[in-house]
Amino acid sequence: MMTIFALATARGRAGVAVIRISGPDAVDAASRIMVSVPDERGVRRLFDGDGATLDQALVLHFSEGKSFTGETVIELHLHGSVAVVNAVLRVLGQNDKLRHAEAGEFTRRALESGQLDLAQVEGLADLIDAETEQQRKQAVRVFSGALGKMVEDWRRDLIRALALLEATIDFADEEVPTDVTPEVLTLVASVRGALDREVTGVKAAERLRDGFEVALIGPPNVGKSTLLNRLAGRDVAITSETAGTTRDVIEVRMDIDGLPVTLLDTAGRRDASDMVEQIGVARGVERAQNADLRVHMLDKDPEFIPDEGPDDIYCLGKADISYGRLEGVSGKTGAGIDWLIQKISGRLSEKAASVGTAIRERHRVAMVMAIDELDQVLGMLDDGFELAELTAAHMWSAIRAVDSIVGRVDVEDVLDEIFSSFCIGK
């Protein structure tokens, strides 16, 4: 396997820049630009082919099996000058034993060497992209191997159940010393229950990773855009006393108590004669229906206070000039803002509470496949071991589905997509 190198930190002026070299020729490559390669770490002068100084760098040496990639790795911690980084990269590029790393290639080598499983790779990608505290916590949980540990437990129990099943096949003409049915049923039912719980939490985990959507809806000129501007801390929506100012859905990304939230300002609902406004109203209705939470802003106190479901919050708009039994919110004065944020945070926190360890649609599909196979197993076990061989085949299918979560089997088609999301140097 060829040795690769790349800048592992962001481009641009910085205090420190790190260039990573990974592969069998990493030490040889480093020895060409410094007098001696440290056994573990040391400060070294780096020079080019003519002996001219490139930089004074901290050099870290990770032996095979003890690095991120699992290969021998040399890291050059340089002064973060664009000119210094470019000069060192240029000199390394002149070495015919090296090539520049592709996007995500260091992480891919970590997967191939067994340093990470596929779920950990996905967790790392999410950690790099994390914008809020809750996203960070979720990504760290997966990157730390929590999902892989769970999969390993499921796999162990299913392998044990399969071994018991196959024992009945091997001793079909003899009497099996003990009745294995109760243990097989217990193992399979336990794994099936755990899978079912994780499947339930995947949707919430996806929303936590991608962001919850909260739609502001209500009649025209009720104060939705003014409220959005207040929450965003800047003018993102045009406000006017003229009804129908908002013609399309306006989105603002926010961090509410560590939760990623996209606020949606929708066009006021009314019977509009303007074709453009009609399209805006229709789009707003559709986005609001699909949102995780809807904030209904009313222009007058209702005769009957509506019952709030888990996805709906009702309040009175323009609280600076309107009063009633409902809580009021004013983007103009800030009245009721703290109440609304607390209300939104509470509702979304309840949704996030159901987050499991599995976080992606790929995980959900694999778990659903495993559940379907285990349901077949449980159904056949009701008839005893008359169909033991077919039951064992379904058990193997369930194990393969579980294995695919961490990349043991049947994931080649998703690898390119996953690693393309990484930056070069990672």
Q: Which residues are documented as binding site for GTP?
A: 221-226, 240-246, 265-268
Closest CA to 112 of 421, 408, 418: 408
In 3-state terms the chain splits into helix, strand, coil percentages (rounded to 5) of: 45, 15, 40
Check: CB of residue 251 under 8 Å from CB of residue 283. Answer: no
Q: What is the CA radius of gyration of the chain?
A: 29
Q: Tell me if 260 sits within 8 A of 208, measured CB to CB.
A: yes
Nearest CA to 74 among 106, 108, 118? 106
Question: Which residue ranges make up the annotated binding site?
Answer: 221-226, 240-246, 265-268
Q: How far apart are CA 420 and CA 424, in angstroms?
A: 9
Which stretch of DSSP H or E encloses residue 55?
A: strand 53-62
370 phi and psi, to 5 degrees? Answer: -65, -40
Distant-in-sequence, close-in-space partners of 131: CB < 8 Å, separation ≥ 6: 253, 255, 260
For residue 113, what are its two tokens?
């060497």
The answer to whether the beta carbons of residues 83 and 67 sit under 8 Å apart is no
The side-by-side arrangement of strands in the sheet containing 250-256 is 250-256, 259-265, 212-217, 293-298, 312-316
Give me the residues paired with residue 295 across strands. Answer: 216, 313
- Pairwise CA distance, residues 386 & 376, whole Å: 14
**Long-range contact pairs involving 251-258 (C-beta distance under 8 Å, separation at least 24):** 252/228, 253/131, 253/211, 255/131, 255/132, 256/341, 256/344, 256/345, 256/348, 257/345, 257/349, 258/132, 258/133, 258/134
- CA distances for 229 relative to 214, 331, 333, angstroms: 15, 7, 12
Q: What are the binding residues for Mg(2+)?
A: 225, 246
Whole-number Cα distances in Å, 339 to 77, 306, 345: 48, 18, 10
**Rounded-to-integer distance, Cα 359 and Cα 205, Å:** 5
